[in-house]
Structure 1
């Protein structure tokens, strides 16, 4: 199991489209939205600062490419954040529930 970090613009229509699509296709067991994120980064040669929303996408590692493809299709950023963190342990019933709601492949 993994958690994928993905920031989005501060626009709920984008977040809802992305999260509902991932959940509908059983590519994510759960997506947590963290609000009030502020990102600082270089784009080109300019220092940027932007209010964003942070998504924590919980899924299985075998679904990582399908999640990435969906994000690339629906995300407005040219290069969306897509960072994968392994889940090395967790409450067994929660992990079992995750497995049960995700597509098999």
Structure 2
């Protein structure tokens, strides 16, 4: 089974740096980094807002907990919002993520 991880970053550069590290460690097969979004949140009893870059990371479900743990260690925020869940994937994607990079010509 495959898995997805969603996590906002302060900027695209920090998302890329963390994503490249997780790729190098074999914990994810891909990171998609979105453009800036506006975040409105409650934290420490107060409301806040800011600009962030969302990231969606693709991995194998067997690596999900390890990938989340490592992402939390590498993330520039002290308490990053990290959400991960197993998901159903297409056959090509499932095969690719099972081997993390050993898949065929699927566009990720």
Q: How does 1:1-105 map to 2 (within 5 A)?
A: 1-12=2-13, 14-88=14-88, 90-101=89-100
Residue 67 of structure 1 deviates from its aligned partner by: 1.3
Alignment root-mean-square deviation, CA: 1.5
**Residue ranges of structure 1 left out of the alignment (5+ in a row):** none
Change (3 A) 1:91 1:64: closer
TM-score, normalised via structure 2 length? 0.82
**Alignment partner of 2:20: what SS?**
helix
TM-score, normalised relative to structure 1: 0.84
CA distance in 2 between counterparts of 1:61 and 1:91 reads 14
For residues 46 and 38 of structure 2, what CA distance do their matches in structure 1 show?
16
Secondary structure in structure 2 of the residue aligned to 1:78: coil
Task: Give the superposition deviation at 1:42.
Answer: 0.7
Q: Runs (4+) of structure 1 moved beyond 6 Å? A: none
Q: Which runs of 5+ in 2 are unaligned?
A: 102-108
How many residue pairs get aligned? The number is 100
